[in-house]
Amino acid sequence: MAAGRSDTAGASWSVQLRTAPSSPRPSRLHSWARSSLSCKSPGSLAVVVVESAQPSTSCHPAGRGPRLPKVYCIISCVGCFGLFSKILDEVEKRHQISMAVIYPFMQGLREAAFPAPGKTVTLKSFIPDSGTEFISLTRPLDSHLEHVDFNSLLQCLSLEQIVQIFASAVLERRIIFLAEDLSTLSQCIHAAAALLYPFSWAHTYIPVVPESLLATVCCPTPFMVGVQMRFLQEVTESPMEEVLLVNLREGTFLMSVGDEKDILPPKLQDDILDSLGQGINDLQTSEQINEHVSGPFVQFFVKTVGHYVSYIKREANGQGHFQERAFYKALNSKANRRFVKKFVKTQLFSLFIQEAEKSKNPPAGYFQQKILEYEEQKKQKKSREKTVK
């Protein structure tokens, strides 16, 4: 199951049920999937049935006796792993009965609107011998920590290095991660991208670059990619522009621009590092680690751009227009102002603010919750200061 990040709401499902070529070689299957199942719109869903006689497959086919394995795969531009897992469970349940039972369920998805964040869509489905049932599919209100493992970054890199990677990503620079195994690459790059919440990486993003696409590291545009260590020589000999090359195995930067420590406002950078370091050794569960690591970076964005709603002026028809200059000039700190003046020019911020301009109300979610908490803290602080005077 693969999913990118998007906050697009209200899109319709694009549902496909396909059978891959029998006994496909990996290259054949990859090209088939790429041409047949490319994600053309947010909210698209593809359920793929892969039939293969390859003995090395890791599929576990249902039933007994000789049989071909089948794989169900969802390809989507929306990262709702819990929602998709439930859909796969329903597809698998129907597969146990008959392939023909899957199609009505898929048709129901096709006809239903893709749920907006926090909303539920209910499908009516009939299963032989079980009768009609209603299936509720709820899209989480906020899924910024869903399917994320920040512990992978903590095991490979220091807190200072993680902050420097974040700073490079915020300014949409070129970042390459190197590691031996695929799981380390995919987990670390996904975690690095998740640090950008509530913003989404809008450029080239390849968790594991295949050998045929190694030329990606020569691109002049921003990218965040993972490369296996065995391709290190090819990467370092490539004609690359300024890049941050991260060796996850050794916990070092093999290449860097040189100013990574100076991108973020000094005080806010220190705040991130202090918050990350406090009590980090006492964390036990992955949920605790994810909350602990994510929090300081979310707070960074709350302090720098959390006032964005006040600088979207709306016309009578509800269309908003962002007041960029007034927005960054509203910041009291010169260091914060310098940073935000650069940040508002990125695709990260532009895409975020475009969605905000379309919406009459701020999206309910973790980021908005933290903004409200921060504003309340500032009010209480002012009230206490007045009382003292």
Instruction: Write the DSSP string, 203-261.
Output: SEEESS--GGGGGGGG-SS-EEEEEEGGGHHHHHTS---S-EEEETTTTEEEE--S-GG
Q: Are the C-beta atoms of 113 and 12 separated by less than 8 Å?
A: yes
Query: Which pLDDT belongs to residue 125?
Result: 84
Backbone φ, ψ for residue 76 (5° rounding): -145, 155
d(CA 295, CA 272) in angstroms, rounded, equals: 9
Query: Which pLDDT belongs to residue 50?
Result: 38
Q: Which two tokens stand for residue 175?
A: 């970042």
Query: Which pLDDT belongs to residue 242?
Result: 92
- Please report the sign of the dihedral spanned by the C-alpha atoms of residue 269, residue 194, residue 162, residue 258: negative
The share of the chain scoring above pLDDT 70, in percent, equals 81
Q: Which two tokens stand for residue 269?
A: 């950078």
Query: Which pLDDT belongs to residue 354?
Result: 94
* pLDDT for 46 beyond 70: no
Q: Which amino acid does the sequence have at 384?
A: R
Buried b (16+ CB within 10 A) or exposed e, 32-44: bbeeebebeebbb
Tracing tokens 């095991």 back to the chain, one arrives at 155
d(CA 176, CA 169) in angstroms, rounded, equals: 11
Q: Cβ contacts of residue 354 below 8 Å, gap of 6+?
A: none
Per domain, the residue ranges of the chain are: 2-138, 151-272, 280-388
Q: What is the mean pLDDT of residues 5-16?
A: 47
Residue 16's pLDDT band, with cuts at 50, 70 and 90, is: low
Residue 238's pLDDT band, with cuts at 50, 70 and 90, is: very high
Tracing tokens 């379309």 back to the chain, one arrives at 358
Residue 124's pLDDT band, with cuts at 50, 70 and 90, is: confident
The share of the chain scoring above pLDDT 90, in percent, equals 52
Q: For 151-272, CATH number?
A: 3.40.50.11500
Partners of 322 in beta bridges: 312
Which stretch of DSSP H or E encloses residue 47?
A: strand 44-49
CA–CA distance from 126 to each of 20, 133, 268 (Å)?
Answer: 27, 6, 55
**Which of these, 76, 100, 103, lies nearest to 3 by C-alpha position?**
76
Give the model confidence (pLDDT) of 335-374 as tens digits: 999 999 999 999 999 999 998 998 877 777 889 999 999 9
d(CA 25, CA 33) in angstroms, rounded, equals: 12
Query: Which pLDDT belongs to residue 140?
Result: 78
d(CA 164, CA 175) in angstroms, rounded, equals: 11
Mean pLDDT of the chain: 82
Query: Which pLDDT belongs to residue 340?
Result: 98
Give the model confidence (pLDDT) of 276-301 as tens digits: 999 888 888 998 999 999 999 999 99
Q: What is the mean pLDDT of residues 247-264?
A: 97
When comparing pLDDT for 168 and 123, which is higher?
168
Which stretch of DSSP H or E encloses residue 163?
A: helix 159-170
Which DSSP letter does residue 297 get?
A: H
d(CA 298, CA 80) in angstroms, rounded, equals: 20
Query: Which pLDDT belongs to residue 96?
Result: 82
Cβ neighbours of 277 (radius 10 Å): 11
Q: What is the mean pLDDT of residues 250-274?
A: 97
* pLDDT for 269 beyond 90: yes
Cβ neighbours of 80 (radius 10 Å): 25
This prediction's pTM:
0.76
CA–CA distance from 165 to each of 203, 243, 311 (Å)?
Answer: 16, 11, 29
